[in-house]
Structures are given as C-alpha cells and as structure tokens.
Amino acid sequence: MGCVNSRVKNGVLDDPDGDKTAYDERFEEIRVLGEGSFGVVSLVNDKKSDGLLQQYASKNLQKGEVWKGDTLYPPIAPELLRTEVEILRTLRGQHYCLKLIGVYETDKELLLVSECCSGGEMIEYVSMLSQDLRTEDISRISYQLLDAVNHCQSHNVIHRDLKPENIMFLTNEPGAELRLIDFGLSTNRFADGLHTTYSGTPFYNSPEMFKNKYTSKTDVWSTGVTLYVLVAGYPSERLQDAFNILLDPKRKTLKTLPNMPANMPDSYYDMLDGLLTHNWRNRKTAGETLKCDFVLFHQDLEAEHKDDTAELTIQHKRQERIQKTTSMRLPGTVKRHTIFLDFKSFERSLTTVLATILDRTELHLLIALFDEKVGGEIDPQLRVIKVQALKDLVEQELESPKCVAAINKLKDAQKYDNFAYNTSLCKIFDDTCGEDPGMIGGGSEKGIQSDRPQRIFRRSHSDVEDPFSNSERASSDRGVFLRKNKSVFL
C-alpha cells in the first residue's frame, strides 16, 4: 500500500499513498468546509471516479508548530497520527466506521482524505431535524453505533473517546447513516491484562477508566451514555446529578436520569441497563447488545411494511418485539439538543471573556481555585462548576467585577447560571497543559473541532478596557475573539 517515505523530510508515515503531486492528480479542491487549529478542511472531487461525482473531505495538516494570528499551536504528535491511520486502514470504512480514502505527505504537510460527513456531529444533526426523533430513529442509530463498536472490538481497537462529538452523519436528511470518527486517542495494542492509560471525556468515561484498568468494554459504557444523551440531550443544567446516577454502583433504575421522556419504552431501558452495567465483567458486549429487542426494532418495523416471506416463527418473534416497543415521536428531542448547542456557544464565549479580561496571573489563580475545590464543590472526575459559582469566584476571589459584568452581557447569560461549565477549558491558556486531538474527522460545513485542551501560547497580553465593541461582539458570541496583540481561538 502506498509508497516508501524515505524522500520526505521528517516523515510521519512509513507508507503514505503518495505526495502532493499524486494528491493533485486524483483530487480537485472545491471549497473550504472549515478551519481549525491544525489545518483547513476542504471539499474535494475525485477526478478518478469514472465519470461519477464522488466528493470527499480533505484535511490539510501543517507539520511543526503553527502560528494562527498571535496564537502558537504545537506540532502534531507523529505517533498518534500513525496509530490513527493504521486503525482506520484496519477498519476499512466498514460497519459505520469512517472510511479513509488516502493519506498524502510532503516535507511540510499531511493531506488526509476521508468520507465527507455533511450532516455534522450527532447533536448538530438532531438539532437540524424538522421533527423530533421517533423510537425507530433511536433504534436505528443505536444499531449503527453498536455495529461500529463491535467492528472495532473484533479488530482489537478501543476507541477510548466515544461521545456525540465523534459521531457524524453523512447527510442532514432524516435516516442518514452515521460514522464513528476521531481515532486519535484509540489503541490497537494488545495488552497483557488490562489497559492502564487514562483517556477520553469524563462524562462518557466508564467506572473502570477512572481506575486506569479497563478493557474494550469501556467503549460499551461510553456507547450507553451517548445513547442516553441522544434521547435526553446533554444535561448541562443537571450534569452532576446525571453523572452521579450513572456511576452509582447501587442504582436500581436509569429512569431517573435527567430529561428522559416519560414515554420511553422499557425495551430501551433494557438495552441501556446492559450497556451501563457498573461491573465491566457483567456488562454486555456490543455484539450481544446488537441482539436486543430495542436495537432490532427499526428492522422489525421495516419488515412489517414489506411483503413478508419469512418463516412463521420469525414473523412471530418479530411481532413480539414490536409489541414491546411502540413507534412514537419523542417530544422535545430537537429542542433539548438545540439548548445544548446554544449553551456550548455561551461556554466558548465565557471562556473567551476570561482569557480576554484576566491576565496570565489571574488565569493561573483561577485554575488554582478550581483545583482547591476539587473533592468539594467540584467533582474530582467530572471537573465542572456551575456558571454562577464561577462568576462568584471571579468577583470575590479575583476581585474582577469587570469580568463578571462582561460575562453577564453575553447573550442569555442569566439563563445559564445553573449550567455546568467545563473548568478544563481554562487550561487551554495554561502552559503546563496540553493534549493532541485526533486528526482525522469526516468534515462538515461547520468544520472540525475538539473540546480537548490543547497547549497554546500567546505572543503578548494586553489588558482590555471594553471587551465588547460593536464589531467584536458577534465574533465573541461565536467563540472567536480577536484583538491587537491577542488571539484566542476556541
């Protein structure tokens, strides 16, 4: 596969599919889809698709350190990228895993071509639907995600960061197929016993991940949390409550999880119970869960509407499963996902305000205050704080009413006082913090983003008297704040 990489200086890959010349011979760049800290994502046409229009997403990654405005981003970690490419090649784009089309490398850049997922991430996708989800929609998405996880496990791959942001949809149409993306934190290493490297996003992490002793079943747990969020939305206003229920080894029911629709069928909870069993040894595998009544419901429903030539025993079993799961619309699913997207925009803007108004010393002090509250007001695993409590810290401990006033000027600020703010976002501006995100995603009109902290450096810092001139307010609301001698990209 590919070519020998001996002619490329600082080569990351041993066997890329070619260089820039080979890339240009096959692909024609059409337009930019998005831009992140590590590169530009473009829509490309495949010029060798035998007359059929075939479009992909192409991500251009610059090697070495990258300055964007006044912000310095660290170089790509070669070993992570090599593992991610190896895993994607192993999975071969089958069973709802993202398909890698090709990888091209030059002395200064990497060009990664994959399927184009124009429907966006899971929460974006649901928020753009014209009608609320139905039970058969949840069943279909559950099946596809479990099939992807089962495919990974059959190839000794542990994703280790499975969450809605790493699930994208090929189109924005109802019924679109999903793709599991971002294998940047994944492993395909055979472990002599249990894996011990902590990874992932706290709310979606399994109990055993927090103990640094886990197997591939950690992905099964994360799948369960993701399918809870699919139905209920991300519970930002009751995040700690949801987290406590999920991790309680003595819990008797999952029906008390925040924002669950009252009419969810028992077969859904049966599936969720199997995925979210606290002891991983008793937890079902993805393959076993694929046989659950709820997971098969969408297939049973489709078969009922077709000419049925199946044996009577198969028809009888299918009808039994259908009786357990009613086809119904789930009110509020679109709204709940939209609320979370609005809060994420506010959260980015809030972080931008903190980085804009507070100087470096104050930011370090704020992070130290967060650390002091770990084990008390701040859960040591989830590490979130309510927005109002954050404002109280800034005003009382940092003595910066100006910063609090700026936060309160953000759109719908008071509505989010009880929502959970992710304290790790502040560590983006801490020189001692850093982690490389996955490099390869499906691409969408909104670009590719990662919530994981990255170490970034700013050339200089100047105090800001008024963070909201008319020309800057809109940019701040989008999570991007630019000033002379300062650049913050979230």
Q: Residue 457's pLDDT is what?
A: 42
State residue 178's pLDDT score. 98
Domain boundaries, the chain: 20-115, 120-331, 335-418+459-489
Q: For residue range 11-62, what is the model confidence (pLDDT) as tens digits? A: 888 899 999 999 999 999 999 998 876 678 999 999 988 778 899 999 998 8
- Report the alpha-carbon distance of residue 122 to residue 446 in Å, rounded: 13
Q: From CA 32, how far away is CA 279, in angstroms rounded?
A: 46
- Nearest alpha-carbon partner for 156 in 181, 183, 188: 188
Q: In which residue ranges of the chain is pLDDT below 70?
A: 1-10, 37-38, 68-72, 305-313, 430-441, 443-490
The residue among 141, 432, 423, 87 whose CA lies nearest residue 297 is 141
Q: What is the pTM of this model?
A: 0.86
The reported pLDDT for the residue numbered 79 is: 85
Question: Is the Cβ–Cβ distance between 38 and 77 less than 8 Å?
Answer: no
How many CB atoms sit inside 10 A of residue 461's CB? 18
- Determine contact, residues 14/100, Cβ cutoff 8 Å: no
CA 143 to chain centre: 19
Quote the pLDDT of residue 434.
Answer: 44
Orientation angle between helical segments 293-304 and 266-275, nearest 10 degrees:
140
Euclidean distance between CA atoms 311 and 332, whole angstroms: 39
Both tokens assigned to 78: 């070669």
* First CA to last CA distance, the chain: 37
Give the residue carrying structure tokens 């399994």: 206
Q: What is the pLDDT of residue 463?
A: 29
Q: How far apart are CA 357 and CA 354, in angstroms?
A: 6
Tokens of 142: 């559950």
**pLDDT by residue (tens digit) across 363-391?**
999 999 999 999 889 999 999 999 999 99
Beta bridge partners of 66: 73
3-class SS at 101? strand
Model confidence pLDDT, tens digit, residues 97-133: 999 999 999 988 899 999 999 999 999 999 999 999 9
Residue where the block lists tokens 């609005």: 342
From residue 46, alpha-carbon distances to 25, 40, 100, 168, 454 in Å are 9, 18, 14, 21, 33
* C-alpha to C-alpha distance for 290 and 409, rounded to whole angstroms: 48
State the fold for domain 20-115. Phosphorylase Kinase; domain 1 (3.30.200)
Residue whose C-alpha is closest to residue 327's, from 294, 362, 365, 359: 294
Q: Is residue 332 within 8 Å of residue 129, measured between CB atoms? A: no
Q: What are the Cα distances from residue 265, in Å, to 45, 257, 270?
A: 44, 15, 9
CATH superfamily, domain 120-331, is Transferase(Phosphotransferase) domain 1 (1.10.510.10)
Cα separation of 136 and 265, whole Å? 11
- Among residues 450, 235, 462, the alpha carbon closest in space to that of 348 is found at 450
| Element housing 486 (H / E) | strand 486-489
Whether residue 171 contacts residue 118, with contact meaning beta carbons closer than 8 Å, is answered with yes
